[in-house]
Structure 1
Amino acid sequence: MPGITAGQNLIPNGSFETYQNCPQQDNLLKEAVPWYNPNRATPDFYHQCFQTGQMFVPPHTGQGVGRLFFDQGWAEYFAVRLTRPLKENECYYFEMYIATDTPNKYLTGTIGAYFSTQPVTAPTSTEMFNAKPQVLDNLPSVSRLQWQRISGIMTARGGEEYVTIGSFYKSPPFLGFYYLLVDDISLRSVNLELGKDTTLCGHKSTRLLDATTPGGIDYRWNDSSINPTLLVTKPGKYSVTVVTACKTLSDSITIDYSLDFELGADTTLCNGQSLTLNVPRNAASTYRWQDGSPQNTYTVSQGGQYSIRVTQATCVVTDSIQVKYIRPPQLDLGPDEELCGAEQFTIKPTIAEGVFTWMDQFADVERTVGHSGIFRASVQNACATVTDSIMVSYGACDCVLYAPNSFTPNGDGLNDVFLAFGCGDITITSLAIFNRWGEVVFQTSASPFRWDGYYHGQLCENGVYSWSIKYQLKQRGKVTLDQKEGPLSLIR
């Protein structure tokens, strides 16, 4: 990008570090070249090359500071010629730091920077300049013996070549004089440049992109991060948008890797397996494996650490991988089972060399089943995962619903309730009990599907009743709705 870069300070010796002769008394601003005094007042320059009590706080940075004094009819200024004239309609960010030992006398809204095409001078006067600074103190208050920043954005008219630092608009009241230390004065063009597209060596190489922009308020990278800097750890195109008070800036950069490869993460293989390691082939590169092999591929058949060194011009990239071998996992759920009636079956898996898991998240290893289905499980270790399944079905005989033809609700704990049951593939959906005249004395559509012999709170009389049960039969993926009735003797 032609012109002034964002990092270039257009104010020479803005931190008062350079001097002609070490200042050993007051009124020696002239030693801080190229700063000069624009009027008849006597601004000061101090440097730690000579210790003086006039520097009431250490410099903000470095070793030098400037000092101004303000009183009735006495206004001191620093002035300097910029390193180059400002460009028309170009945005610039100004910044300086101030400190005082008498904050109660400091006049807020008065200290600033005035930029002009010609020097502002008054060789015979100590009065305040009649000028309108482009950047002015916006501090609500100042603290004692603490450096505080004055900053702002300005748009140049074009041709401004001088800056005057001091107090404008207000003079201290009678006996309101005060001193002000000034340090780190800077003026920078509000520009953004990430740099030219570049190529790094390999995947371990990084690049810190710095989008810090003078006066930057908001930063937004293409990955949504909002810091002024971004650490690049992989190839790609990176872009950033920066919002300032005067304009919004954008820039992008493409980062390539000349030797972009990885052998992969450390791995574990099953005994008998092999692994082929490879890196991209390039005629300009040379390869060297841990045993001196010069090819770009390597076949692993036993445990150990394997590494490669790839050289291309001045770029050298190395990578390594640890390979372990273990026995594969084993699993056997047994042969398929056919059950009869309400019979149940306990599956007892045979497991070795791994962690066992049922596919349906059943918690225990052994499980007892009483319904048809396919039950799947796996055993896993670092080298592999094996699976097995077992089918349980009620194919050995018909899956039927069983119900007693009598019960004795006398409270002796034996046969006290009427309860139907069937094989695991049957799901009862409703139960109804009728007396000999066909009247409903009990019915339910919710589990448990049983009758205790009571009707309206009273135990029913001995006699013959009948039951009706509706149910679902689910086998081999099909659901059949059915109903069954039968007699029931209630014996008290």
Structure 2
Amino acid sequence: MVGFTASTGLYFCRQTVCLTLNIVEKTTYQVCQGESVQLLSRPSADNRYIWSPASGVDNPGVRNPVARPARSQWYTVQTRGYCTLVTKDSFYVEVKPALTLALGNDRAVCPDVREVTFTSTVNPDGSGLDYRWSTGATTPQITVSQPGRYSLEITNGVCSARDTVQLSRLSLPKVRFPADNLYCLNEGPITLAVEPQQADLNFLWLPGEGNQSAQIISVPGTYQVLITNPDGCTITQQFTVNKYRQPRIAVPDAFSPNGDGQNDELKLFHEGVSDVEWLTYNRWGSVIFYTTDLAKRWDGTYKGAPCDSGVYAYLLRYKSAMEPTRPALHKAGQVVLIR
């Protein structure tokens, strides 16, 4: 209440006009449970205030006390106006439940896990909330692929909560594999083995048996070993074991390139052969035919002209297709060209 006093008329009569104003500046406050709020009121004539309930504020006799309500409630302030009249005003403080946020435990994943999803758990439920992830996302959950620390802050405009979670990458098992994964069974069983580079590794052979870094193989087939470290990360290596076949190559004794459609070309017959060199010589030792293509045939010509009937020598250099790292094999012979 505000009063104005003024003189009017010839005889200096005094008249007073009193206006009633709201004492408080806001009629409603919102505060998160467990937090405090400052109650704001306008100045009074005698600078005296009476707040109630007095137990709900830190100082019930000041203009702007601090309240920490345990629940939603009304507050009243009483002052004396300029006209010495007592004025009261009240407002409501709404207490919002505190938010709790949990992103779960930190995650450590194996390298083969490409993406990880973190989901927020909010109490009370997450309706009407704003989500702000450190990645810039605004959803209740995020999917990430890079190791690092991720944080989320939520708010309903009054209360807020924050949590962080860490994503890290585990290591694969440390093991040394053989340089080759293709093997041949020749005269007896062979051993497939890997070399552990750390302790406490678990080995699972498929097919196979025993938790060992090596397996004795006597049957051709495809074999796989799964190696797992104490963190649960696994790597896999596959081996192929074939039954050894001795490379064989043969050249016919004769051919007749006369255009009758019968035995007109000289070709190689082979099995288990790779990297061939085929050279054919005339009687003077000159190379008249050369190829590295197993499928190619000699038509009995040299530089487009038919060769004479006669005996021609040949030399074959070739390797085993199953053991290409072994030294090359050689075969020499003669073939008769018949016109």
Fold shared, TM-score > 0.5 on shorter chain? no
Larger Rg: 2
What's the TM-score once normalised by structure 2's chain length? 0.38
What's the TM-score once normalised by structure 1's chain length? 0.28
